[in-house]
Structure 1
């Protein structure tokens, strides 16, 4: 029996006892029910129902209603605390496996350095995160492209952290180069994982963020690997976020307009980060 099942069973038993304590026992053949006044050391006098089973000489008495209400409240509180502990552990595990680097592990929309130039980009990304359930249902993605040092990674990691903390959904940040290397390593004779297993690493997560798209204008084989993952996720209605230092036009030429159009479906968008770098 799982902790949840045990809680539901205990709660049901207490609620049945409380119903009897406030409304009396349900009529049963072979039983005699009477009322009396009983005393509780915590709550004083209360009305008590007494049921006698003549055939087996057994007597059942109802409990103090206020005591039962207290037991139910404490049981619910313990269950809430148990779930909170489970949630904290799950969030920690999801973050550990998310691939978010230490520099951005605390990234949020609140600590994003907002300026007049980047306010619109922040607003788009925050709305995407806040409407995650809708984006998840429709498979809507995002493309964050433009100049380096303009906050693309901070906003992408803020989305990941929000998705994990608020919804406990699996999210993974990786790079196009890492994907290519991992898939290629599966082609070795002594590889620990097959190509299919490696591909599933990137297809399964609820949210996949791929950084450094087009950073080295990879080989055709690398492009095919990347496109296959994006397409598999598109068909499975799984949101993907692409990050690139290329301009909108350069990225469109690199990944193809078909991919760009697919990323915009389901409430997705392409956001241009065309202001000057913060690092200057």
Structure 2
């Protein structure tokens, strides 16, 4: 990139000017005090080739003050470009996440606990998001289960927003039923995707949030689909968040104890949302 090349060139110029000139064969370094209209006098250098009858001078060095000012400007341009690129990436990832309208404004800051249990759930989710690079290394997931209307979706999607805005991590939010449908669609003779394509889609992003786990009929095929995706993500150290209105015991019976155990590996845990619904107060 031209901007980075300019920064690199000026940094090298300033580095060279900050130390005595290197002695090169058949070259002479000529020093001259010259005046910069902006920064006053400075020592200008130029090399003269002395191996022939005609001396060929190199371009003279520029004013160090001017070089530093230009470098400061280029650094600011680089930051503006990085900030713009970062925001464009965040906007793209948020669009791809397709947050349901009800949860668009959900953040970890505007979740309102209603008691000690919900306060603990918020602290766990805040810590989970704050340690996201560690979660990515260890693959720890979260299980959010319990009563409807207690804030599970709010917290899960707030985590999603946090990791996108702070780490530009790709996130998919879906339901267990949608996963089952996509998987089953590959069994059709006219299907354009195979089972591996579906598995790849759900195992590629840094974070996968699966809502409504346990709502589907619970056939052996659906359980195998769910296990295949969660297990593949587990093996690839990719965090997963499961959301269910069932109790921990009911959920374990559906997805198996082995899945719940694997979700807790790598620093993950299970949160039980046992308090009464407060949807009427704005939570979900």
TM-score, length-scaled by structure 1? 0.94
Contact 1:25 1:51 in 2 (8 A): no
1:13 aligned partner: 9
- The answer on 1:38 being equivalent to 2:34 is yes
- CA deviations 1:251-278 (Å, max 9, x no partner) are 1211111111111111110000000001
1:251 aligned partner: 251
- CA deviations 1:181-233 (Å, max 9, x no partner) are 11111111112222211111101111101000001343221121111111111
Cα distance in 2 for residues equivalent to 1:82 and 1:98: 24
- Show structure 2 runs of 5+ residues with no match: none
Cα distance in 2 for residues equivalent to 1:20 and 1:205: 45
Deviation at 1:43, TM superposition (A): 0.8
2:152 aligned partner: 152
Residue 57 of structure 1 is aligned with which of 30, 41, 55? Answer: 55
Cα distance in 2 for residues equivalent to 1:22 and 1:279: 65
Deviates more, 1:219-228 or 1:171-180: 219-228
Cα distance in 1 for residues equivalent to 2:172 and 2:20: 56
Aligned residues: 276
Cα distance in 1 for residues equivalent to 2:141 and 2:17: 55
Deviates more, 1:149-158 or 1:103-112: 103-112
Cα distance in 2 for residues equivalent to 1:124 and 1:53: 69
Cα distance in 2 for residues equivalent to 1:74 and 1:209: 42
Cα distance in 2 for residues equivalent to 1:141 and 1:46: 60
Matched ranges for 1:90-101 at <5 A? 90-101=89-100
Contact 1:207 1:238 in 2 (8 A): yes
Deviation at 1:24, TM superposition (A): 4.6
The runs of at least 4 consecutive aligned structure 1 residues that moved more than 4 Å come to none
Deviation at 1:34, TM superposition (A): 2.4
2:68 aligned partner: 69
Deviation at 1:74, TM superposition (A): 1.3
Contact 1:20 1:62 in 2 (8 A): no
What secondary structure does 1:97 align onto? helix
- CA deviations 1:88-122 (Å, max 9, x no partner) are 11111111112322222232111112222410100
Contact 1:24 1:49 in 2 (8 A): no
What secondary structure does 1:266 align onto? coil
- Show structure 1 runs of 5+ residues with no match: none
Contact 2:218 2:254 in 1 (8 A): no
TM-score, length-scaled by structure 2? 0.92
- The answer on 1:176 being equivalent to 2:172 is no
1:84 aligned partner: 83
- CA RMSD in angstroms comes to 1.5
